[in-house]
Structure 1
């Protein structure tokens, strides 16, 4: 006699406990489903002191938003929070088995991935130390606070043209090409029309608040500096599951449909790992959609009626 497979411990496992993951878990919790959140504690915006542009939370400490979200989520008794790193996930007959770095395994009928991305910054001395405080990537998140001052754009490639053309709405822009990009004639005309100053002398290092020190010794003080980092997966789980990927301007991300379903049945992806560009507001919205979609997928009658 063959024993029957055990029912999964959870209706859904959410890997990633930042804004998108908590938002997804909230929808599932409110549907009275058993939810496990596995979080490695590495929010992408952990380097930024404050969050901007998120309605009702504009100017709030980023960590405070995350802490409040977790506190509200944990008011639901059907939610379990596990601090740890999910190292792998495998499909099984009735859902998925998620293995943690400790070797511990948890099972769930559905999987919501909100594992985020890691930013790869150019190798310029002093840049990484100022990431999130005076070096940024999102004008909508940080541009206004620079008080229309001098703004630098550090080129990493053609993508930096977007920064250079957008940022004059927030201040006086200097575009540091740094041997990483050379505008063509049309691009030069566009930059001139936006009154962007072009600096071709390479950058030696970043000092002070956001002072750009050039290799010829000149120092150009900036109120803030913008750079477009390359993004890479913060977790291998989506790739190991076989989720289809898309190539965006800044790196690869998971391909999803309008309901945040991935190409792998039962796997939903949300937040920065599943969009070409993001912020806290986008992450929360994505997570809500993924949580709702994961819940709906658990109701067979919705798909047979």
Structure 2
């Protein structure tokens, strides 16, 4: 069987795209490895009508609703390679299966490259965070930190001041005079000493240990994880990438098509965002892919 589309990745963008195609009565296959990016967080916030729901619960509900459509098939597996064929694409999986599709939709997400700092990994998604809109309210104010050293550090520190008393750990970065003035106006404290590690009963955080031996009390630490593609499949297919301030993204046009004809992409791999934005990007990609199928069918 040749599916109208194979969607690689069954998290928020993939599910949203699949739902649009299922409602268009198209035969689709979702291949998902079961490792969503937000698996480290216990709850998801800022999702309209579902604020505070556990991300895993939200995905389970969405998957169950999707599988109620008779033209949808779901495979728990990892897509490892894909080839172009006369009729579209052949997708190969770690489980030894090969699936044929007219179109591909990559909702494979990104991998977060965390700072190599003792104590970060075991607190990721709990008290070491990346998005204040997702987690800042729950921190509850008080002493929060931002680990600097990247292009967005100063802007982010000023932003975070709405969520608590912020310490920007420069961590070796240069801060210009006008930036210092802005941070002072926002009540942000600048700490020049490098952070050596984090302390507290993980996954909770109580403070940061500095190179000079001092300790700074903290309720939470925000970091900018370096983004990379979560799968080598994107590069193997030849999809063009573009730089963002915190990593790389798949290059797509307004219809969410990649640089490779017939391959679409959506979600965290294409936009720096959150669940709501991933859902929206998935909807856009699913509808655009359906339009392309209809155009082909009309021309045949």
**TM-score normalised by structure 2 residue count:** 0.95
Confirm whether residue 280 of structure 1 aligns to residue 275 of structure 2: yes
Q: What is the deviation of 1:303?
A: 7.5
Question: Do residues 229 (structure 1) and 231 (structure 2) align?
Answer: no
> Is 1:203–2:195 an aligned residue pair?
yes
Query: Does residue 1:72 correspond to 2:68, yes or no?
Result: no
Query: Per the alignment, in what secondary structure is the counterpart of residue 92 of structure 2?
Result: strand
CA distance in 2, matches of 1:303, 1:107: 21
Partner Cα distance (2:140, 2:267) in 1: 29
Post-superposition CA distance 1:156-192 (Å, at most 9, x none):
322222221110011110001122x121122111211
Checking the alignment, whether the CA contact within 8 Å between 1:19 and 1:287 is kept in structure 2 is: yes
Q: CA deviation at 1:302?
A: 8.4
The aligned residue for residue 59 of structure 1 is: 52
Indicate conservation of the 8 Å contact 2:209/2:216, yes or no: yes
Give the 3-state SS of the residue equivalent to 1:299 in structure 2: helix
- Return the TM-score normalized by structure 1: 0.93
Asked whether 1:291 is paired with 2:286, we answer yes
Q: CA deviation at 1:147?
A: 1.7
**8 Å Cα contact 2:111/2:227 also seen in 1:** yes
Give the paired residue count. Answer: 295
Say whether the 8 Å CA contact 2:30–2:73 is kept in structure 1: yes
C-alpha offsets along residues 17-59 of structure 1, whole Å, 9 cap, x if unaligned?
1110011111111111111000011101100011011101111
SS of the equivalent of 1:169 reads coil
Q: For 1:132-211, what aligned pairs fall within 5 Å after superposition?
A: 132-179=125-172, 181-208=173-200, 209-210=204-205, 211=207
Given the superposition, is the C-alpha separation of residues 91 and 186 from structure 1 closer, same or farther in structure 2, using an over 3 Å criterion? Answer: same
Look up the match of 1:93: 86
Show structure 1 runs of 5+ residues with no match. Answer: 1-7
Counting only pairs closer than 5 Å after superposition, residues 216-255 of structure 1 correspond to structure 2 as: 216-255=212-251
The CA deviation string for residues 218-249 of structure 1, in whole angstroms up to 9 with x for no partner, is 22221211000110000122222221211110
1:69-126: CA deviation from partner (whole Å, max 9, x where unpaired): 1111111121111011100111111111001113321000110000000000111100
Quick one: structure 1 residues 262 and 143, their matched pair in 2 at CA, closer, same or farther if it must change by over 3 Å? same
Which consecutive unaligned segments of at least 5 residues does structure 2 have?
Answer: none
Whole-Å separation in 2 of the counterparts to 1:64 and 1:96: 32
2:294 aligned counterpart, secondary structure: coil
Check if 1:258 corresponds to 2:254: yes
| Poorly superposed stretches of 4+, deviation over 4 Å | 301-304
Q: Is the 8 A contact 2:151 2:245 kept in 1?
A: no
